Structure formats: C-alpha cells, structure tokens
C-alpha cells in the first residue's frame, strides 16, 4: 500500500478532551475520528487493525467448532419484555417506536434473540451442542462516554452463545471458550487477567472477565501472586488487617462539635480511623438499611446490592433523619430500629476480635465511645467492603495487590435464564422436555486495540503488537522524487508482499522528518528506510521497539525484516 493512496490524516496535537493514552494516539495517528459523543469512525488504519483482530477472533472461534452468523440489531421489544430486561436495564437501552407504534430497541446484546432462534430451530438433544457467534454492532446509551473507543455508545462486539442439554455440557463449552480466549489474547499481543466477576444484568451462575492492565481502565481487580486468586473488586474477598488502637468498652457520649467526617472525628478523638464505625443509611427497594463498615474501609455498593438482592441507593438527608433522628455525620448503630448490615471486619469473632469502637450517637454534634458490636447493637454480617492492596488473600493469606484494568471480554454461564422465558426447550433421550442450557461469551475488538495501545507506546507513538498492527512494515522512501530510491523501494515493497509481509510504502513528497515521525506514531513493528545509500544497494532496518538501526544490503533486507518481525511481541 502506497501512502499517497492511503487516507492517513495524522495530526501533531492531542485532542483537547483526551485523557487516555490510547485516545490521544489513535486520534493523532489517524486511526479514528469522533463523530459525536461516544460515537467514533474507524478510518482506514483503524479498520485494518480491527480487521486483523477480528480475523484472529474468527480463526479461534472456528477452531472450537463455532459457527458464524449475523443477527439484526433492531429488535421488537417483546423478546426483551419476555426476559424481563426491557424494564430492568433502564436508561442505557435505546428504545424507539416503529411507524406502527410498536416498541423496538437497539441491541445492547443478543441473549434474547439467540434464545428466540434456538426456541424455533432446536428440537432434540441430537441437535446439541451448538456454538453460534457473530461480530456485530451493539448500542448502549452510555451516560458518560470517555476514553476514546473505551466507553462508547456504539461498538462492535464478538458475542457467542452455547446451547447444551445440561450443565455438564455447558461446563465443557465454557472451558472451550477459556482456551480460545487465552489464544486470542496471546495472538493479539496483550496482557490480560481472567478474574471472577459478578454476572450483573446478564444473570447466570458463574462469570469471568478478561482484564487488561492499564491506568486508563475504569475497573480494578484484586490479585494474589502467591496462589493465583483473581477477582474484580466488586466481588473480591479479602481478610482485613486488625483494627488499630484500643478503647474502653464502656459506652460514653462525647461532644464532637462540627466533626462529621471519619478524618475529622479520628483527629478530634485522637484515635485511628480503624477504631471508628462508619454508618451509612441506604435504601434497598423501598426499605431503609443502616450499613456499617470500619472507618478505614470503603463500602462497595455492588456487594451490598448482591447481599440484599435489590438495587440500592444512598439515602437522602431527610431519609437519614427519619431513620436515625440525626444529621449525616452523626449517625450510629446504637438504638436504631432499622435493619443493620455490617461488614465482616466488624464481627466480634472476626480478625479484630471482640472490641470497642467509636460511632455516631444519633445526636447532633455527638459520638459514642465504647460501642461493642453484638452487645450494643445486633447486625447481619456480610462481605461489604472493597478489597484494597495489602489485604490478606482469603485463600492463602498472602498480600493482595489491586490493579487498574480495562475489561476486554467476559464469559457467563447463563443456565436457563433466557431459554425458559423464551420457550427454548428440547426433548432429551428419555423423551422429556427440558430447557436448553445456555452460555454467553463476549469480546470487544476495539477494546483489544485500545488496550494494545495502552500497553504498547512511548513518547514517539504507538508500538503495536505485530499481529494486529495496521501494517507489518513501514517502508520509508526518504526522497519521493529520487528514481533510484523509488526503484529500490518498489522492489522491496513487492518482495515483502511475496514473503507474506504487508508494507506501508511512504512515497509521499514530504520532509524526511515528517515521514519518520509518522512512522513512529503509527507504530508498525519494523521500519525500513530507503535513503541516500540506495544507489549502493544498502538500506536501513529498525524494529519499532527494543532494537537499534542497522544497515543491510537491499537484497538481504526482506530476510532481516522477517527476523525482526518474528522477534517482535
């Protein structure tokens, strides 16, 4: 491909609203352009990356016996109403009406539609197992699009679905997808963790996410390097360090004028924050709940919602007063009639043992010292706090670390969550009708590309993994009007193609500095420079990362480029 024939609008400046490195470099390198908030165009370089990612995905899905098809992205609402998700999902779903005033939706995902097809086409256990997949557009009315292609409102996704007679079959297909996904990410050249996750609005019995470490990620995972435990922080279990400090176990009211926050009260009373109880009023469904965590811990609302099996929200100030009689900042668990749920770190038989804490007195400008869980209040205990780095692993006791990550894929054991409401049943070997057991497996190709940029870059630009780079080689002709350089570059371009390496031949009539800067910015694995020694049959070759420039005979250049390409990540 000649650069003079390629639409490649590189720019020098970062977009003004960009924070993520991948957002900055994919715009500057001419890979993407923003069309509207959360809506991006893939330009030729970006689409070449996507095509290479998708090719790897297709090869690995086909290798496990999956069959590709294509589903519509405009759905009648009734299939979503049948599963209950039409109302449960909320404002993130794009809803519309057709000219017949029928409710329609734009696809966020395709579980219902695949289950609908299975209900009409699969009749017998002899039809199973099946693995169906597609690479298709999805739509989500994301309230806060950001990060370039990381958080968007329209995106391409590979989603596959398995259909089995029983859970044993589901387990086998789940394992097949794990193997396929491991190969996909290895071939795409990005580092990922497979972690336990919450099934969320997808539902099901078990779920995992594939997380690519990156400072641009909006998720966090807890990892144990000793035993291999890995989980999203919304699910991660850990053992908290013992609370610091000690106090008499005799209830005593103390004046704390205008001291509302944990930090303020801790300083005012001269006690560590771990000796305080943080009391938070939430509303679960329509009922108030008093939630307790240690002062040095943070509540994870997702854990609370899973425990109470309802959506939760923080109570409004007037609701707090109604439940406790106090203003926010002076709330505590003593003499409160509402349901109380406390984090496990506060258990009398927990890591800190039976001990006293300070807590709000449910009276303005006052706190209580000497509050003992189990003596002064009764509570349900659950894992509510967010795991933090340095906590002990719940499995082996070694310290956990917490990393920022980008979610690039997820897999779910759905069971019969969708097949029962959609009527997807088969006759088993005994002639009994039973619901099909289903799994769902997604990958975001654009997120893979963005994660690759986040993990592979330097001050000059992108360093693409070799198998998903837009081109294998950037062939820079220093002077476009030099006939000798043109002849050498043309011969190399053709020879590289014959060797199976796609080259971008920069034949533009631009200053050499512009060409070199664009080559570094675009980030192909190897650069070949055809310059002043072309007449002597000599060119320069240089890996984009981890090597030095070297002169080679033009006749040997293809072999050397192939070696450098193989050595690249």
**SS3 track for 488-543:** HHHHHHHHHHHCCCCEEEECCCCCHHHHHHHHHHHCCCEEEEECCCHHHCEEEEEE
- Predicted confidence at residue 419, as pLDDT, reads 97
Query: Average pLDDT, stretch 88-106?
Result: 95
Mean pLDDT of the chain: 95
- Predicted confidence at residue 311, as pLDDT, reads 87
- Predicted confidence at residue 246, as pLDDT, reads 87
Query: Average pLDDT, stretch 217-236?
Result: 93
Q: How confident is the model at residue 367 (pLDDT cuts 50, 70, 90)?
A: very high
Structure-derived torsion over alpha carbons of residues 359, 293, 339, 238, reported in degrees to the nearest 10? -150
CA–CA separation, 443 and 280 (whole Å): 37
Tens-digit pLDDT profile for residues 49-59: 999 999 999 99
Asked if the model's pLDDT at residue 203 lies above 80, the reply is: no
- Predicted confidence at residue 204, as pLDDT, reads 57
Q: In what order do the strands lie in the sheet with 95-97?
A: 74-76, 103-106, 95-97
Radius of gyration of the chain (CA): 29
Q: Where are the domains of the chain?
A: 3-7+22-236+403-453, 252-382, 471-567
Name the helix (H) or strand (E) containing 50.
helix 44-63
- Predicted confidence at residue 200, as pLDDT, reads 60
**Length of the chain, in residues:** 569
Backbone angles phi, psi at 388, to 5 degrees: -130, 160
Query: What is the pTM assigned to this prediction?
Result: 0.90
Contacts of 101 (CB under 8 A, 6+ apart): none
Beta bridge partners of 250: none
At 506, list the tokens: 């920069």
Do 288 and 338 touch, CB atoms closer than 8 A? yes
- Predicted confidence at residue 183, as pLDDT, reads 98
The one-character DSSP state at 151 is B
Per CATH, 3-7+22-236+403-453 and 252-382 having the same topology is answered: no
- Predicted confidence at residue 206, as pLDDT, reads 79
Q: What is the DSSP string of 295-309?
A: TT--B-HHHHHHHHT
- Predicted confidence at residue 64, as pLDDT, reads 98
Asked if the model's pLDDT at residue 492 lies above 60, the reply is: yes
CATH architecture of the domain covering 3-7+22-236+403-453: 2-Layer Sandwich (3.30)
Query: Average pLDDT, stretch 274-280?
Result: 96
Asked if the model's pLDDT at residue 201 lies above 60, the reply is: no
Backbone angles phi, psi at 504, to 5 degrees: -95, 110
At 123, list the tokens: 């009749």
Q: How confident is the model at residue 467 (pLDDT cuts 50, 70, 90)?
A: very high
Asked if the model's pLDDT at residue 33 lies above 90, the reply is: yes
Query: SS3 of 465, please?
Result: coil
Asked if the model's pLDDT at residue 236 lies above 70, the reply is: yes
CA–CA separation, 210 and 191 (whole Å): 10
CA–CA separation, 159 and 444 (whole Å): 9
- Predicted confidence at residue 433, as pLDDT, reads 97
CATH among 3.40.50.300, 3.40.50.800, 3.30.420.40, 3.30.70.2470 for 471-567: 3.40.50.800
Query: Average pLDDT, stretch 74-80?
Result: 97
How distant, in Å, are the alpha carbons of 115, 500, 529, 553, 560 from that of 556?
A: 56, 16, 14, 5, 6
Query: Average pLDDT, stretch 455-470?
Result: 97
Query: Average pLDDT, stretch 448-476?
Result: 98
Parallel, antiparallel, or unpaired for β 437-443 and 154-164? antiparallel
CA–CA separation, 46 and 25 (whole Å): 11
Query: SS3 of 450, please?
Result: helix
Do 508 and 10 touch, CB atoms closer than 8 A? no
Q: Which fold has domain 252-382?
A: YbaK protein (3.90.960)
Query: Average pLDDT, stretch 139-150?
Result: 94
Which among 137, 181, 175 is positioned nearest to 155, based on CA atoms?
137
- Predicted confidence at residue 199, as pLDDT, reads 62
Residue 129, preceding peptide bond in cis (omega within 30° of 0): yes
Q: How confident is the model at residue 350 (pLDDT cuts 50, 70, 90)?
A: confident
């Amino acid at each position: 491909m000649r650069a003079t024939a390629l639409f490649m609008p590189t720019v020098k400046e970062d977009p003004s609203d960009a924070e993520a490195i991948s957002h900055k470099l994919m715009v500057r390198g001419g890979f993407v352009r923003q069309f509207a908030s959360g809506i991006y165009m893939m330009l030729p370089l970006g689409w070449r990356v996507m095509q290479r990612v998708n090719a790897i995905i297709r090869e690995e899905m086909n290798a496990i016996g999956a069959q590709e098809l294509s589903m519509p992205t405009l759905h009648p609402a009734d299939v979503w109403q049948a599963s209950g998700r039409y109302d449960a999902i909320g404002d993130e779903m794009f809803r519309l009406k057709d000219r017949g005033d029928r409710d329609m939706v734009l696809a966020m995902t395709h579980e219902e539609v695949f289950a609908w097809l299975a209900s009409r086409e699969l009749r017998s256990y002899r039809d199973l197992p099946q693995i169906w997949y597609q690479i298709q557009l999805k739509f989500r009315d994301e309230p806060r699009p950001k990060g370039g292609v990381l958080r968007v409102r329209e995106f391409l996704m590979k989603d596959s679905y398995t259909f089995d007679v029983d859970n044993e079959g589901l387990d086998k297909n789940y394992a097949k997808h794990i193997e396929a996904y491991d190969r996909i990410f290895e071939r795409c050249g990005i580092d990922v963790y497979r972690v336990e996750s919450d099934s969320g609005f997808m539902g099901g019995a078990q779920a995992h996410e594939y997380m690519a470490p990156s400072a641009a990620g909006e998720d966090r995972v807890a990892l144990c390097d000793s035993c291999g435990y890995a989980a999203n922080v919304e699910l991660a279990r850990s053992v908290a360090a013992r609370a610091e400090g000690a106090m008499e176990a005799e209830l005593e009211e103390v004046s704390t004028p205008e001291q509302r926050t944990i930090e303020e009260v801790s300083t005012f009373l001269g006690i560590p924050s771990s000796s305080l109880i943080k009391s938070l009023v939430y509303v679960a469904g329509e009922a108030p709940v008093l939630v307790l965590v240690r002062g040095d811990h943070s509540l994870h609302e997702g854990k609370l919602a899973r425990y109470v099996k309802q959506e939760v929200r923080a109570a409004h100030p007037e609701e707090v007063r109604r439940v406790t009689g106090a203003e926010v900042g002076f709330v505590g668990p003593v003499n409160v009639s509402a349901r109380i749920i406390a984090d496990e770190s506060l258990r009398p038989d927990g890591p800190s043992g039976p001990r006293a804490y300070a807590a709000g007195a449910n009276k303005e400008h006052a706190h209580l010292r000497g509050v003992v869980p189990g003596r002064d209040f009764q509570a349900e205990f659950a894992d509510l706090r967010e795991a933090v780095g340095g906590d002990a692993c719940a499995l082996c006791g070694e310290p956990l670390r917490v990393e920022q990550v980008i979610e690039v894929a997820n897999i779910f054991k759905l069971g019969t969550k969708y097949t029962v409401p959609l009527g997807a049943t088969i006759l088993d070997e005994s002639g009994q009708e039973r619901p099909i057991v289903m799994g769902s497996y997604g990958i975001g190709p654009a997120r893979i590309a963005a994660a690759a940029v986040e993990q592979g870059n330097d001050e000059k630009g992108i360093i693409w993994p070799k198998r998903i780079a837009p081109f294998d080689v950037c062939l820079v002709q220093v002077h476009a009007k030099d006939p000798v350089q043109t002849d050498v570059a043309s011969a190399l371009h053709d020879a590289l193609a014959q060797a199976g390496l796609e080259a971008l031949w920069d034949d533009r009539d631009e200053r050499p500095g512009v060409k070199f800067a664009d080559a570094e910015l675009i980030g192909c694995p190897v650069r070949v420079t055809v310059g002043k020694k072309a007449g002597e049959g000599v060119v320069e070759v240089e890996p984009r990362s981890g090597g030095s420039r070297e002169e080679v005979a033009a006749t040997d250049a293809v072999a050397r480029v192939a070696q450098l390409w193989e050595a690249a990540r």
